[in-house]
């Protein structure tokens, strides 16, 4: 069996706790609901995977969201409070951008406008290709 690049056993990522290494940089994770999910280590670390698929499919639970500097929510990190429920956030790509608490609360996964544009373009391209 190959050794993990980095030992994540027992570490908590959102609702997921890494339980065992499966090889190829994948980890078996235990969700707080009791379910399991096999996730890439990189996804755990950059916040792309925070719950099992069953939980992800449910309506977002945002009641426990804490809006404090340094909090990581849905892949972004809160850097600075700008006032009037607005935050400066850090995207996984390293970009800083401004967003509102409402946007974060209503979103499953957050990223900066640049990344959003990038993904939208990729989706459009894929659609046009057909
Ligand atoms: Zn779950
Ligand atoms: Zn970005």
Q: What is the pLDDT along the chain (130 residues), one digit of tens a residue?
A: 567 778 999 999 999 999 999 998 999 999 999 999 999 999 999 998 999 988 887 655 555 578 899 998 878 999 999 999 999 999 989 999 999 998 888 877 788 999 888 878 887 888 777 6
Do 114 and 50 reside in the same domain of the chain?
A: no
Q: Report the separation in Å between the CA atom of 106 and the middle of ligand 1, taken as the mean of its atom positions.
A: 19
Phi/psi-derived region of residue 74, left when phi > 0, alpha when psi is between -120 and 50, beta in every other case:
left
Do 75 and 126 reside in the same domain of the chain?
A: yes
Q: Report the separation in Å between the CA atom of 12 and the middle of ligand 2, taken as the mean of its atom positions.
A: 24
Q: What pLDDT, in 10s, does the model give residues 46-78?
A: 998 999 988 887 655 555 578 899 998 878 999
Q: List the strands of the sheet with 86-90, edge to edge.
A: 72-73, 76-83, 86-90, 96-100
Is 41 inside any structural domain?
Answer: yes
Dig out the tokens for 61 from the structure.
């639970």
Do 36 and 48 reside in the same domain of the chain?
A: yes
Q: Report the separation in Å between the CA atom of 100 and the middle of ligand 1, taken as the mean of its atom positions.
A: 27
Total tally of structural domains belonging to the chain: 2
Structural domain that includes position 23: 12-57
Q: Report the separation in Å between the CA atom of 89 and the middle of ligand 2, taken as the mean of its atom positions.
A: 10
* pTM exceeds 0.75, yes or no: no
Is 32 inside any structural domain?
Answer: yes
């Amino acid at each position: 069996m190959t050794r993990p690049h980095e030992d994540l056993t027992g570490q908590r990522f959102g609702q997921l706790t890494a339980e065992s290494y499966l090889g190829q940089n994948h980890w078996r994770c235990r969700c707080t609901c009791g379910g399991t999910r096999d996730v890439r280590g990189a996804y755990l670390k950059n916040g792309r995977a925070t719950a099992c698929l069953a939980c992800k499919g449910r309506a977002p639970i945002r009641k426990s969201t804490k809006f404090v500097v340094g909090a990581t929510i849905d892949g972004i990190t809160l850097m600075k409070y700008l006032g009037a429920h607005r935050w400066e956030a850090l995207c996984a790509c390293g970009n800083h951008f401004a967003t509102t608490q409402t946007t974060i609360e209503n979103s499953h996964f957050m990223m900066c406008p640049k990344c959003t544009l990038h993904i939208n373009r990729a989706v459009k391209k894929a659609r046009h290709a057909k």
